[in-house]
Structure 1
Amino acid sequence: MEATASQTNAVKVQEATISLALIQPSDYNPRKNFDEQSLTELADSISRQGILHAIGVRPIAGTDRYEIVYGERRYRASIIAGKDDIKATVYTDLSDDEAEQKAIAENLHRQDITTMEEAETLKAAIDSGRYDYATLATQIGKSEAYILTRIKLTNLIPEIARLIDTEEITVAVATEISRYGVDIQTDVYNSHLKDGVTGNNWRGMDASNVARLIEQNYTTDLSRYHFDKSTCASCPHNTRNLLLFCEDGCDGNCANTACLREKQTTYLLDKAFYGSELFPMAKFGQTEYDSNDMVAERLVNFGYDVEKIGNNSIPFPMWPMQPEQDCFNSDVEYSIAIKEYEQNKEKCKNDRATIENMAREGKASLFICIGRYDITLCYIPTDMGNFGDVDS
C-alpha cells in the first residue's frame, strides 16, 4: 500500500492506493440499493479515466483489511471494471459514530445522488439520533419541510420508488402517493403506473390530479358515518391531515379501510344491542339493498338470528325534533312551531304505542334493521289492510 499521511481535526488521514481484495462494505452505509445499469456506466468511465475521487475507508482492528466509510458505488464499479486496487482516503482513528456521520455527509453532498438515495440518507441521519430536523436542515442547507417530504418517500413500495429515479413520475406525484399505505400504493401501481397499463395510466399527470384521483378512488367520506370520529380528526390516515383538498369543517376521507370498517362495525353493533334493550320484542333483520354484512355476521356468531326483510317494511315512527327559538324571526312563529311540535309528538307517541301493542299481539313484527351506515327500527304488519290508521 502506497500512502501519504496527514492529520485533520485530530483524525489521522492517509491517502493510499489499496487492493480491492482488502476492502469490504460497511453495515451502516445509508445507501442500500445500487442500480446495475448505473454501476455499469460508472465502470466504463473508470476503465477509461480511472477513479476521479478517492473512496473513504478505515482499518478493521486486528486485520489488514479496510471497511468502506463512503464511496461503495465507486468500489463496486471498480470491481466490475476489473481493477485490482483503488485510491482511498484512510481514516485511522475514526469511531463508529464518526464513520456513519461521514458516510451520511458524503452521500448528501454527492452531485449524482438520486432522489431515493437522498431520502434514505436523510432518514438514516435522523434515525442516527445525531440530528433533529432543524440541525440537519442547517447542515445541508435545506428546509425542514424539504427533509420531511423527502423522508416520507422512504415509505414508497420499491416499484414506485424506482419510477422516481427513472424520472417516469415526478417527486411531487410520488410524494402524494407516499402518504398512503402499502395496499393503496400497490393497487395504484398495478392499476395506473405499471408498464403496459393503458387507458387509465397516471404517468404524466400532475400531482394535484393524482392526489384527487387517489382520494376519490381509494378513500371513504367520513361524513357518511355516525360513530365517534374524535380520534379520526388527528389520524394520519385522514385526508384532512394529508394536506389534500378537504375544505374547512369537513370530516375528511379515510384511507384506512380496515380501521374504518372495524369502527363502523363496533358502532353499529353497540347501537343494535341498545335497540334490542329498548325493544326486547324486536328481531334483527337486514334488507337486500342496504345492509352491513359484517355486522350481520357478527350477530350470527354471537348466536342471534338475522332475518331477511323484504321491501314491505315500514320505518318506525321517529320522535319529531324540538324547535329552537333562535331559528325563528318572532316569538309568534316560535309559538306556532312549538304547538305543532307538541301535536306531532303526541301523535308519534300514540303511533309507537299502537305498533308495539300490535307486535305484542302478533299483528306486526318489529325489526332492528342492520343498515350499511346506521341501525334503524322498522315494522311489518301481518295485515296491511287493517293497519291504515297508523301514519308513520
Structure 2
Amino acid sequence: MKAIKNNNGTAVATENATQVATAVVASKPDNKERKAVNIASDLIEPSNYNARKTFDADALKELAQSISVHGLIQPITVRRKGEKGEHYEIICGERRFRACRLLNLAEIPCIIREATDEQAYDLSIIENLQREDVPPMEAAEAYKRLIDTKRYDIASLAMQYGKSEKHIYQMLKLCDLIKGIANLVSEGKLTASAGIVVSKYDKKIQEDMLNNRFGKDGTGEWCHISANVLEGRIRNCYTNNLDSYHFDKTKCLKCAHNSTNFDLFADGSSCGKCTNKKCLSDKQTAYLVEQAQAVALADPKLVFVGEQYSQDNEATQIIKKGGYEFKNVQTYNLTSYPTTPTAPKATDYKKPENFDKAQEQYGKEQEKYTKRTAQLDELKEQGKIRVYAKIDNSNVKLYYKEVATKDTKTNAQLIADLTAKRERNSEIANEKTAEDLREVLRKEQIPQSAFTADEETAMYFFMLSALRRHNYKAVGLKIMTITAYQTSENSKSLNR
C-alpha cells in the first residue's frame, strides 16, 4: 500500500502502510496556532492515567478500517517525556493510537503540548469523559480520580461537563459498588441506573444481593428489571421504614445506614429507611423493655399477656426474666385501652383552614381520650378492672377486663385482708400444736411417778399457751399476769 493525500489534507493508507506520509493538520486551541506533526509510532507510549481501561477489539478494527479509508482526521495529543524529550506520552487519543498500530503505521499525526503531570492527568480524563460512548464504570472512576486530586468538587465537575450535580454524584456512587456488581455493570448485565440504586447500600447487603438476587454470572432474577422496580424490591427485602418505630430517632437522622443520607438530593420528607437491621432491632428491644417496665411500675397489679403458641420476642424474654407476672390469655377476651390521638402537622395540609379544622378535631379527641383514661384509672383503683399489657413487636399495648363486683376491693382493703389472714394462720398453727399435745397425752402411757419440776413447768406452759383470753377470768388470771408468766418461762427455757 502507498499513502496518498485526499482533498482535505489528511493521510490515507495505501499499499505500503509503513511508508504512509501523514499530512499536517492545523488546530488553534486557546487562540494559539498549533500544528500536528508526524511522530514515529515507536516513540509514542500510552500513559498510565488514562480513564479508559478496556478497548473492544472489534471496535478497534472498525476504527482502523475507517482510518485506512479516510485517514486520521483528529490527531492524538502527546507531551514530551524523557530527559531529552526523546519520547512522547499520550495525553488524549490512545484508542486512535492503538488503531494506527493495527495498521502498522510508521508515523502518526500528533499535536505536541507542554503540560505538567497534573495538566496531562486532567486533560486525559477530561477528553475521555467528553466521549458519548464512555462506559459508566469508567466514567465513574474518571470522576472519582478528578475529585481525588482535590482540584475539583461536584459543582465544578458539573459545570465543566454541562451535567447536573445530581448526575455527577450518582456516577460517583458507582464507585461504592463491590467488585462483583461493578463487573456486572461493566459487562452490561446490569444497567448503570440499577448500579446506582445498589450502590446506596452497604457492602454486606450488596454481597447478599450478588449471591442471592443477581448471581455472579448475571443470570439472577433481579438483573432484568428496571431501576425503579429494583429499588422497591431492595426496600422490601433489606430495609425497615423508620416512621413505623416510636423510639427516639435523633441519632438515626444522621446515621450512615439511613436511606435519606444515601442521596445528597433526597427530599427529607420522612425519617428514612434503616438498612442496619441489627442496630434497629437492638434499639426497638430497648424501647419495648423500657415501656413495659414503665407500665408495670405505674400499676403493681398489672399482668402481662404471654404467648401460648408462639415464641416470645426478645423484649418479652427480658421482662419475664425480671420476674413480672405473665398469664396466657387471649386478647380478644379483653378490651383495648384508648389510643393516644396524634397531633396534626401543618406540613400535611395545603390549606391553612384544613389544618385549623384538623387541630379542632384533635382537641376534641384529646379531651375524650383524657376523660376516658381518667375513668379507667378510677375503676382500676377501685379494683373493678384488671389491666393487662401485651408486648408486641412495635409497642406495648394495654388492655383491661372487668372484675366481678362482689370481689372488688381497694388496695387498702386487700392489704388489711392479707394482714388479718396472716394473724389467723398463726393462731391456727398454735391451736394445732396444743391439740397434738393433748392427743399425745391421751394415747401415751403416763408414768405413775410424780412430775419432775421441768415436766410440771412444761405442762403449765402449754396449758396456759392454749388458754383463750376470754377464759383468763374464769381461772383467776389477768392478762398482764399470764403475759409476764409466759415471758419469764420463755426466758428460763432459753437460759437452759
TM-score range (shorter-chain normalised) is 0.5 to 0.7
Residue of structure 1 equivalent to 2:17:
none
Residue of structure 1 equivalent to 2:213:
192
Distance 2:33 2:115 in 1: 7
Does the 8 A contact of 1:316 with 1:377 survive in 2? no
Residue of structure 2 equivalent to 1:363:
none
Q: Provide Cα deviations, 1:224-247, integer angstroms capped at 9, x if missing partner.
A: 32221234345564445668xx99
Higher mean C-alpha displacement, 49-58 vs 104-113: 49-58
Residue of structure 1 equivalent to 2:60:
42
Flag the 1:311–1:116 CA change in 2: closer, same or farther, 3 A. Answer: same
The residue type equivalent to 2:277 in the other structure is T
Flag the 1:280–1:56 CA change in 2: closer, same or farther, 3 A. Answer: farther
Flag the 1:107–1:334 CA change in 2: closer, same or farther, 3 A. Answer: closer
Q: What SS is found at the alignment partner of 1:17?
A: strand
| Greater helix share, structure number | 2
Query: Which of 83, 88, 113 is the matching residue for 2:134?
Result: 113
Distance 1:335 1:283 in 2: 28
Q: Provide Cα deviations, 1:137-196, integer angstroms capped at 9, x if missing partner.
A: 232222222222222222223333344444444333333223222233333333333347
Q: Measure how far apart 1:61 and its partner are.
A: 4.6
Unmatched 5+ residue regions in structure 1?
356-365, 379-384
| Greater strand share, structure number | 1
Residue of structure 1 equivalent to 2:125:
104
Q: Measure how far apart 1:122 and its partner are.
A: 2.1
Does the 8 A contact of 2:91 with 2:124 survive in 1? yes
Does the 8 A contact of 2:77 with 2:112 survive in 1? no
Q: Does 1:180 align with 2:198?
A: no
Query: Which of 234, 246, 250 is the matching residue for 1:214?
Result: 234
Residue of structure 2 equivalent to 1:311:
328
Residue of structure 1 equivalent to 2:274:
254
The residue type equivalent to 1:155 in the other structure is D
Does the 8 A contact of 1:296 with 1:306 survive in 2? no
Flag the 1:248–1:67 CA change in 2: closer, same or farther, 3 A. Answer: closer
Distance 1:92 1:124 in 2: 22
Does the 8 A contact of 2:146 with 2:152 survive in 1? yes
Query: Which of 7, 20, 39 is the matching residue for 1:17?
Result: 39
Q: Does 1:345 align with 2:367?
A: no
The residue type equivalent to 2:226 in the other structure is D
Q: Does 1:145 align with 2:163?
A: no
Flag the 1:92–1:329 CA change in 2: closer, same or farther, 3 A. Answer: closer
Distance 1:127 1:117 in 2: 15
Q: Measure how far apart 1:114 and its partner are.
A: 1.3
Flag the 1:374–1:91 CA change in 2: closer, same or farther, 3 A. Answer: farther
Question: What TM-score do the two structures reach when normalised by structure 2?
Answer: 0.53
Q: What SS is found at the alignment partner of 1:130?
A: coil
Report 1 or 2 for greater relative contact order, CA contacts < 8 Å, sequence distance ≥ 6.
1
Q: Measure how far apart 1:271 and its partner are.
A: 5.5
Does the 8 A contact of 1:284 with 1:305 survive in 2? no
Flag the 1:126–1:248 CA change in 2: closer, same or farther, 3 A. Answer: closer
Flag the 1:162–1:320 CA change in 2: closer, same or farther, 3 A. Answer: closer
Corresponding residue pairs, total: 357
Residue of structure 1 equivalent to 2:150:
129
Q: Measure how far apart 1:70 and its partner are.
A: 3.8
Distance 2:210 2:393 in 1: 30
Distance 2:340 2:241 in 1: 29
Q: What SS is found at the alignment partner of 1:110?
A: coil
Q: What SS is found at the alignment partner of 1:202?
A: coil
Residue of structure 2 equivalent to 1:228:
248
The residue type equivalent to 1:216 in the other structure is N
Q: What SS is found at the alignment partner of 2:115?
A: coil
Q: Measure how far apart 1:98 and its partner are.
A: 0.9
Flag the 1:66–1:338 CA change in 2: closer, same or farther, 3 A. Answer: closer
Provide the alpha-carbon RMSD of the alignment.
Answer: 5.6
Q: Provide Cα deviations, 1:328-353, integer angstroms capped at 9, x if missing partner.
A: 898xx998876654331122345599
Distance 1:49 1:268 in 2: 73
Larger radius of gyration: 2
Does the 8 A contact of 2:243 with 2:272 survive in 1? yes
Residue of structure 2 equivalent to 1:160:
181
Q: What SS is found at the alignment partner of 2:39?
A: strand
Q: Measure how far apart 1:222 and its partner are.
A: 2.0
Residue of structure 1 equivalent to 2:441:
none
Does the 8 A contact of 1:369 with 1:377 survive in 2? yes
Does the 8 A contact of 1:55 with 1:70 survive in 2? yes
Unmatched 5+ residue regions in structure 2?
1-20, 344-358, 410-496
Does the 8 A contact of 1:11 with 1:92 survive in 2? no
Flag the 1:125–1:316 CA change in 2: closer, same or farther, 3 A. Answer: farther
Question: What TM-score do the two structures reach when normalised by structure 1?
Answer: 0.64
Distance 1:334 1:182 in 2: 46
Residue of structure 2 equivalent to 1:69:
91
Flag the 1:319–1:106 CA change in 2: closer, same or farther, 3 A. Answer: same
Does the 8 A contact of 2:77 with 2:113 survive in 1? no
Q: Provide Cα deviations, 1:4-31, integer angstroms capped at 9, x if missing partner.
A: 99997699998453565873633x4444
Flag the 1:93–1:282 CA change in 2: closer, same or farther, 3 A. Answer: farther
Q: Provide Cα deviations, 1:14-66, integer angstroms capped at 9, x if missing partner.
A: 8453565873633x4444x426xx14652685489579452534414588655
Report percent identity of matched pairs: 29
